[in-house]
Amino acid sequence: MTALGTAPGLGAPAAPVRRGRRRSTPFLLALVGTAYLAVFFVIPLLSGLIVSLMSGNPDDGYTFTWNFGVYSALFVDPQVPYLTFLLRSLWYGLAATLVTIIVGYPVAYFIAFRVSARWKSPLLMLVFVSFLVSFVIRTDMWAFVLASQGPVVTVLQGIGLAGKDFQILGTSGAVVFGDAYNDLAFMVLPIYAALERIDPRLGEAANDLYAGKVRAFWHTTLPLSRSGVFAGVLLVFIDCVGDPVNSALLGGTNTYTIGQAIQDAYSGNQQYNVAAALSTVLMVVLGIILFVYARVSGTDDLEDLV
């Protein structure tokens, strides 16, 4: 009797152990993500901040001197208008983001609701097929297509929509087009992921309540896909603002961006502290803009994409 009575007690300590493991599992998983962010985000950010506070030159080297004056010098030097470059980059990023939303949302909507299940994967692969080619090569090929003797300008001139002096390459439009083209997939995928989670019966219910297609879309589909648009804006805007490739290959002297300024300061002039200071300023500005955008748009539904 004693043995039988105490037998259940032998397994009693196992329950608290299992509960302890279940409680610790989320913290262990969060530890992996925290370590990843620390190694690839926090440490580089702090390293850039430290480098920006150094003084010196490429010949004699750089030493840490708490040189906060480099930040004020960035925006008072009349020979190098870094503020103009920054504002221009923000404008290009905003314009390219709007273009990707206008083009990408109908594409995502069509794949999510207007094609059969067997065609969805092939169509999504077509969206990403351009990534099989190098980013620089794709952009450089557009420089050929948009050139003054290229097919686009030649066709426009042939049908009388452009004059002899008309050009696309070297303009702001070419840079925005390049940014939007290269980042279009980053807008399509999150919007498609959000639309795919919407129950089609909601639209049918809206129609049964005498809502037209436009009204049903505006009050049902669009609000429910807000998380996808939000994620796409984050991906596209951040990438476009700091990109130096499109402005260098598709732009001209009047399309110089902050990304080019950072690249030239680091690799061209070897002004490592200036390049680090510009990078830090850009990250702070982007952080403020995205924080305000998140507060205005709301991020309650963003976790649905995870």
Which residue would you say has higher pLDDT here, 269 or 189? Answer: 189
Please compute the mean of the pLDDT values over residues 12-39 and round it to a whole number.
71
Domain boundaries, the chain: 81-305
How far does CA 267 lie from the centroid of its chain? 24
Q: What's the mean pLDDT in 46-61?
A: 87
pLDDT at 31: 84
Which pLDDT score is estimated for 1?
Answer: 46
Does position 152 have pLDDT exceeding 80, yes or no?
Answer: yes
Q: What is the pLDDT of residue 285?
A: 92
pTM beyond 0.75: the answer is: yes
Work out the angle at residue 18's Cα, subtended by the Cα atoms of residues 12 and 22, and round it to the nearest 5 degrees: 155
pLDDT for the residue numbered 269: 82
How far apart are the C-alpha atoms of 299 and 286, rounded to whole Å? 17
What amino acid occupies position 139?
A: T
pLDDT digits (tens, 9 = 90+) for 287-296: 899 888 888 8
Residue range 242-262: average pLDDT? 92
Stronger pLDDT, 167 or 96, i.e. the higher one = 96
Q: In 197-271, which residue ranges form alpha helices assigned H by DSSP?
A: 200-208, 213-216, 222-224, 226-241, 245-250, 258-263
Tell me what the mean pLDDT of segment 121-141 comes to. 87
- Which residues, at least 6 apart from 260, have a Cβ–Cβ distance to it below 8 Å? 85, 244, 247, 248
Higher pLDDT, 18 or 41: 41
Cα gap 257→263, rounded to integer Å? 10
**Mean pLDDT to the nearest integer, 251-272:** 90
What DSSP string describes 93-135? HHHHHHHHHHHHHHHHHHHHHSS-HHHHHHHHHHHHGGGGS-H
> What does residue 61 show for φ and ψ, rounded to 5 degrees?
95, 175
Mean pLDDT calculated for residue range 197-219: 73
Spatial neighbors of 109 by CB under 8 A, at least 6 apart, are 191, 195, 221
- For range 221-245, the mean pLDDT: 90
Residues 6+ apart with CB under 8 A from 121: none
What does residue 98 show for φ and ψ, rounded to 5 degrees?
A: -65, -40
Q: What is the CA radius of gyration of the chain?
A: 26
Q: At 130, list the tokens.
A: 């351009």
- Residue 51 C-beta-side C-alpha neighbours within 13 Å: 20
CA angle (273 as vertex; 268, 279 as ends), nearest 5 = 85
The CATH architecture of the domain made up of 81-305 is Orthogonal Bundle (1.10)
Average pLDDT, the chain: 84
Rounded to whole angstroms, the Cα distance separating 17 from 92 reads: 56
State both tokens at 260. 């080019």
Which residues contact residue 147 at a Cβ distance below 8 angstroms, ignoring those fewer than 6 apart?
A: 153, 169
Answer yes or no: are the C-beta atoms of 176 and 88 closer than 8 Å.
no
Mean pLDDT of 203-228: 77
Query: According to the model, what pLDDT value does residue 22 have?
Result: 67
Of 72-76, 273-277, 302-306, the range with the lowest mean pLDDT is 302-306
| pLDDT tens-place string over residues 66-75 | 988 888 888 8
Higher pLDDT, 109 or 22: 109
- Compute the average pLDDT of residues 162-167: 84
Mean pLDDT of the 211-232 span: 82
Q: What is the mean pLDDT of residues 170-188?
A: 93
pLDDT band at 298 (very low <50, low <70, confident <90, very high): low
| 74-127: pLDDT as tens digits | 888 778 889 999 999 999 999 999 999 999 999 999 998 888 888 888 898 988
